[in-house]
Amino acid sequence: MKKSIRLILTVITILVLAGIIALPKIKKAFKSGDEGKLRASTMMRGGAGQPTFASGYVIVPTNMNELIYSTGSLIPDEEVDLSFETSGKVVGIYFSEGRRVKNGDLLAKINDKPLQAQLLKLQAQKKLTEEREFRQRQLLDRDAISRESYDQVATELQSLEADIQLLEARIDETELRAPFDGIVGLRMISEGAYATTQTKIVRLVKISPLKIEFSIPERYAGEVSPGFPISFVLDGEPKAFTANVYAVDPKVDIDTRTITVRAMYPNNNEELKPGRFASVRARLSQIENTISIPTQAVIPEMEGEKVFVYRKGRAEEIRIKIGLRTESHIQVREGLQFGDTLLTTAILQLRQGISVQLDTLVTNQIQ
């Protein structure tokens, strides 16, 4: 028993002595590890020992354009579904589908034989009445008849003339004519069918010029007016087209808070067809000799926006006030000066006063 106790005490003593001897080495190892972590942290933060690499952007005076981007549709200059003004049997169709017609061209005809017969009857009556009126007028000039007798014949003649004009108007209603130059579509009725005033015969479309209808935000209501130029592009078309605004809706749409605008495109060669989707761009204004910076360089915060500039090898935090925005750039009204070098990369690693090394340097060329 005593031997076991001595053995245990001996082992404990040896372990204590070994710990005392190894303790300085353990402390030194932990200290080395902490220093390594500190150096790594310093390198990540761009300390004096290891600068942060970033791209520089030299600010020079530039011109910025305020643009509106919208979507719209091409619509015909004129479009109408043609129908007869009266009912009857269709006795003639005089147009070919998809062909061009002129203003006043006869497109279709309803049976008007009963009306034509009535017209012949009235014309014969008118001829006899005109002869009576002529004889009565001669007698009146010689005071052979009273004024009352002559007035009765003259009134009868005027009544016949009115009836003839009414009948001719009814005959005109049996003819369907083109109200303007354009292209007819597909006919919706055949010869021999009975047509009413509700029966659609054909659609007539005028595609030269074309209208472009689009919407703009209500805040731009006072800046877009007739004559304002726009440009638009279409899917599958390699080039952009230009047009001019000719009308602006006077009312703001309550649901979308936008204003509908229409522009006119000549479409002289009729290369564009109505109904196509259009991406519209309108240039509202141009600001000259201003400061514009890339959007990615701006850091938004609760207190406002800030950027970092490169000065004497270090990053300096600058508060800015912004103005006009475009797709890729922002106008800076206060905070930066021409000639400043803006830092545009490594934004998350930048801190006030850390060492920075420029790996690229570009000059603002936005027009």
In this prediction, residues 208-212 reach a mean pLDDT of 94
Res. 38: pLDDT tops 60: no
Higher pLDDT, 23 or 255: 255
Which pLDDT value is given to residue 19?
60
Which pLDDT value is given to residue 296?
87
In this prediction, residues 64-89 reach a mean pLDDT of 91
pTM, rounded to two decimals:
0.64
In this prediction, residues 10-29 reach a mean pLDDT of 60
Lowest mean pLDDT among 37-46, 131-140, 179-188, 221-230: 37-46
Domain boundaries, the chain: 1-44, 52-64+288-363, 69-76+207-286, 78-195
Instruction: Confirm or reject CATH 2.40.50.100 for domain 78-195, answering yes or no.
Output: yes
CATH of 69-76+207-286, one of 3.40.50.620, 2.40.30.170, 3.40.50.300, 3.40.50.150: 2.40.30.170
In this prediction, residues 80-89 reach a mean pLDDT of 95
Average pLDDT score over the chain:
85
Res. 227: pLDDT tops 50: yes
Lowest mean pLDDT among 32-46, 119-133, 225-239, 240-254: 32-46
In this prediction, residues 215-224 reach a mean pLDDT of 87
Q: Distance (Å, rounded) from C-alpha 14 to C-alpha 6? A: 12
Res. 365: pLDDT tops 80: no
Higher pLDDT, 196 or 37: 196
Res. 279: pLDDT tops 60: yes
**Of 218, 222, 213, whose CA–CA distance to 284 is shortest?**
222
Percent of the chain with pLDDT over 70: 85
Res. 268: pLDDT tops 80: yes
Contacts of 108-112 with CB under 8 Å at 24 or more apart are 108/84, 108/175, 108/176, 108/189, 108/201, 108/202, 109/174, 109/175, 109/176, 110/84, 110/86, 110/174, 110/175, 110/195, 111/174, 112/88, 112/171, 112/174
Higher pLDDT, 17 or 160: 160
Angle between helices 113-141 and 147-172 (to 10 degrees): 160
Which pLDDT value is given to residue 46?
43
Res. 41: pLDDT tops 50: no
Q: What CATH architecture is 52-64+288-363?
A: Beta Barrel (2.40)
Which pLDDT value is given to residue 36?
44
Cα separation values, 206 from 97, 181, 310, Å: 14, 7, 61
Write the pLDDT tens digit of every residue in 337-351. Answer: 888 888 888 888 888
Confidence of residue 20 (pLDDT cuts 50, 70, 90): low
In this prediction, residues 151-160 reach a mean pLDDT of 92
Q: Is the peptide bond before 209 cis (omega within 30 degrees of 0)?
A: yes
Which pLDDT value is given to residue 161?
94
Which pLDDT value is given to residue 297?
87
Res. 363: pLDDT tops 80: no
List all residues 6 or more positions away from 28 whose beta carbon is below 8 Å from its beta carbon.
none
Confidence of residue 5 (pLDDT cuts 50, 70, 90): low
